[in-house]
Amino acid sequence: MRVLVTTALEQSWPEDEPVVFLGEWCRRFVRRERWQALDAEVMPYHWDDRERFHEDYDRLLLVYEELLVELGQALNEVHGVDRSIRFWRILVGPWLGFFIQMAWDRWRMLELAAIRGDVVGTIVLDGVDRGLVPSDMVDFKRLYVTDEWNHHLCHRILEAQGRIPIRRQGFVVGGADGSPPERVPVPSSVKVELLRIWSRVASRLARRGDVAVVSPYMTWSSEMDLHRRLGQLPFVWSLVEQPTERFDGATRSWSLGGSSEDDFGSFVRAVVPHQIPAAYVEGFGRLAGMADEAGWPPEAPVVFTCNSHYADDVFKAWTAARVEQGAHLVIGQHGGNFGISRRVFTEDHEVAIADRYLSWGWSDPSRPDIRPVGQLMVQPALTSASGADQRLLLVTTTVPRQSYHLFSGMVSSQWLSYLEDQFSFAEALPGDLRERLLVRLYSHDYGWDQEERWRDRLPEVELEPGAAPMRSLMERCHLYVATYNATTFLETFAMDVPTVMFWNPGHWEVRDSASEAFEGLREAGVLHDTPESAARHVGEVWSDVPEWWLGDRVRSARREFDAALNWHGGDVVGAVARELVAAVGEAGPRRLRRRALRWSGSEQRGDH
């Protein structure tokens, strides 16, 4: 018989009893001497069954839609307002979608632990819940990767399921009054402070009807060019302080109005009012005031962003209010996975809240509001490194140890399989190439102890901790190796950096509409399904990378891929400006309507 351990908090581990770890997230590599000495087993991860993963994704979207309606109605009553479901989707939708998906992951794993039949109990740490109700979305992203937050969520689920006996043990975390830990202010650079000053001054010159351009995921010169084409002063609207609100239990006596046919639905409905960030409850009125203080363009007919619609609650509150008053929300793609992966919650959310969605080149006949404009963040091309300093650059990634939002990629402990692939690639390289290998670690470790694992397995490999700018690394790079389906290889393609890619196709599933473009990359030797195949190919082309990269076979595959998914080059800024003024419609200022009429006859792809 075994005691269940839910997280890496060792105070919740029994001293002298056999244990079963809920998942690999419980076993920190740097603490292996402790857990290797235990009589322990590890639960298999439920989403290793990928068909179940996709079924759960579709089902959880339905749960999300039901709860969004109920939550919107509840918040309307709490605040004495009458906001639409779209308003609440913009403001609280990211948090609700993430939370539901996380809660189901923990719920199902604990359910499977109870089904084992050999779990006699689990230790719950009283006091660990202090300060774990997030202040806002930024705070939520900080909390959900912590063992304390996950331990508390597991505790709530264990109580709701009532199938595993709970042993209580004292634990103290955070402030004694339960207040959230104080945020450590991030020092601002001189450039950022100057931009803040400029925006405060320039906001007084903003005209009614200016397009609000916030975090557009463009180079600085492209962003300035966009403002010029829109005929308005350039403002840096993204530099706005976020709210810091305190949870007040007295304001959380309300509930969601729906009912559920299953225990999980009942649990989520019960816990959402107590876990929703304080910014949407206690701080809701202050959000509107902070948005007014920001000085954003009054009566902006169009709001355009690529990055501020998740964690920037002031921006979301202002944008949701503008949309209620008739403004159009235009969102631009801000990275990889979109239009490519089989499942992407963030893509589904963004397309749902936007009047127009500007993609990097892909389209979807069933969703006409998706408008291809080309890659927004295009850096100047790089020349491949040569001589003694030429490096083989391997860029890696991590994910939180316990799942967050769902997409077609590795989830939670599947990262260990991903890491093993990186080791296999390095070990399969010829000896002289391994000496040239530079591994860039991901900047967020999430408790996976990346560096320690590499030092233990391949101490001779040079590591970069994720601090150096990518461009400076690529300037030393003779060949770039992409190891996951995300932004990096799309940007190296645009910069014409010789690129080899490999990943597990069983994790990084590609949707049917993109599969043909990826198959062309496979046939050209750019994309590989195993690390060993990628390593062999690198060894074959290393002596003359330009000959391979510039050869007809690779160029043809690249052209087909770019035409389908990832345009770059041409007047992308003009394409964005055209979409923004077209979104204005008849209600917009005359100067923007004139621009819309002038551009209405031009074909969108004519710039590419």
pLDDT value at 598 more than 80:
no
| Cα–Cα distance, 88 to 92 (Å, whole number) | 5
| Cα–Cα distance, 227 to 204 (Å, whole number) | 16
- pLDDT tens by residue, 473-494: 988 899 999 999 999 999 999 9
The CATH 3.40.50.2000 portion of the chain extends over 387-565
pLDDT value at 451 more than 80:
yes
pLDDT number for residue 163: 97
SS3 assignment for 389-426: HCEEEEECCCCCCCCCCCECCCCHHHHHHHHHHHHHHH
Q: Pick from 465, 469, 424, 413: which is nearest to 444 by CA?
A: 465
Cβ-count burial of 547 within 10 angstroms (0-12 exposed, 13-18 middle, 19+ buried)?
exposed
Contacts of residues 248-254 at CB distance under 8 Å and 24 or more positions apart, as own/partner, are 248/278, 248/282, 251/78, 251/281, 251/282, 252/281, 254/74, 254/77, 254/78
Q: For residue 299, give the amino acid letter.
A: E
Question: Would you say 156 and 109 are in contact if contact means Cβ atoms under 8 Å apart?
Answer: no
The stretch 444-463 carries a mean pLDDT of 97
Residue 250 CB partners (closer than 8 Å, separation 6+): none
The stretch 372-381 carries a mean pLDDT of 86
pLDDT number for residue 475: 87
The stretch 588-601 carries a mean pLDDT of 58
Question: Would you say 123 and 148 are in contact if contact means Cβ atoms under 8 Å apart?
Answer: no
Q: Pick from 577, 567, 558: which is nearest to 608 by CA?
A: 567
| Cα–Cα distance, 391 to 476 (Å, whole number) | 6
The count of other CB atoms within 10 Å of the CB of residue 81 is 10
pLDDT number for residue 592: 65
How far CA 250 is from CA of 247, 362, 369, in Å, comes to 9, 48, 43
Residue 166, phi then psi, degrees to nearest 5: -110, 130
For residue 380, name the pLDDT band (cuts at 50, 70, 90): confident
Q: Of all helices (H) and strands (E), which one includes residue 233? A: none
CATH of 387-565, one of 3.60.20.10, 3.40.50.2000, 3.90.110.10, 3.40.50.150: 3.40.50.2000
SS3 assignment for 255-290: CCCCCCCCHHHHHHHHHHHHHCCHHHCCCHHHHHHH
Residue 332, phi then psi, degrees to nearest 5: -105, 145
For residue 564, name the pLDDT band (cuts at 50, 70, 90): very high
pLDDT value at 148 more than 80:
yes
pLDDT number for residue 386: 53
3-class DSSP state of 231: coil
pLDDT number for residue 182: 45
- pLDDT tens by residue, 498-555: 999 999 999 999 999 999 999 999 999 999 999 999 999 999 999 999 999 999 999 9
For residue 129, name the pLDDT band (cuts at 50, 70, 90): confident
pLDDT number for residue 130: 85
Question: Would you say 272 and 71 are in contact if contact means Cβ atoms under 8 Å apart?
Answer: yes
Half-sphere exposure for 218 (CA within 13 Å, toward CB): 28
pLDDT number for residue 116: 95
pLDDT value at 302 more than 60:
yes
Question: Would you say 550 and 357 are in contact if contact means Cβ atoms under 8 Å apart?
Answer: no
The stretch 440-449 carries a mean pLDDT of 97
- pLDDT tens by residue, 178-197: 334 444 444 455 665 666 66
| Cα–Cα distance, 450 to 331 (Å, whole number) | 34
Question: Would you say 599 and 582 are in contact if contact means Cβ atoms under 8 Å apart?
Answer: yes
The stretch 404-411 carries a mean pLDDT of 94
Q: Token digits for 400?
A: 């939180």
pLDDT number for residue 381: 74
Q: Pick from 214, 228, 203: which is nearest to 298 by CA?
A: 203
Least reliable range by pLDDT among 176-180, 285-289, 313-317: 176-180
pLDDT number for residue 235: 74
Question: Would you say 500 and 568 are in contact if contact means Cβ atoms under 8 Å apart?
Answer: no
Q: Token digits for 251?
A: 């304001």
pLDDT number for residue 191: 60
For residue 172, name the pLDDT band (cuts at 50, 70, 90): low
Instruction: State the angle between helix axes of 50-79 and 345-353 in degrees (0 to 180), rounded to the nearest 10.
Output: 40
Q: Pick from 252, 127, 135, 125: which is nearest to 177 by CA?
A: 127
For residue 601, name the pLDDT band (cuts at 50, 70, 90): very low
pLDDT value at 423 more than 80:
yes
Q: Token digits for 365?
A: 């006949």
CATH number of 190-243+283-377+575-607: 3.40.50
Report percent pLDDT > 70 for the chain. 88
pLDDT number for residue 39: 97
SS3 assignment for 45-77: CHHHCHHHHHHHHHHHHHHHHHHHHHHHHHHHH
Report percent pLDDT > 90 for the chain. 74
3-class DSSP state of 16: coil
| Cα–Cα distance, 25 to 48 (Å, whole number) | 15
Q: Which residue has the higher pLDDT, 175 or 469?
A: 469
Question: Would you say 554 and 527 are in contact if contact means Cβ atoms under 8 Å apart?
Answer: no
Mean pLDDT taken over the chain: 89
Q: Which residue has the higher pLDDT, 590 or 271?
A: 271
- pLDDT tens by residue, 56-94: 999 999 999 999 999 999 999 999 999 999 999 999 999
| Cα–Cα distance, 510 to 507 (Å, whole number) | 9
pLDDT value at 605 more than 70:
no
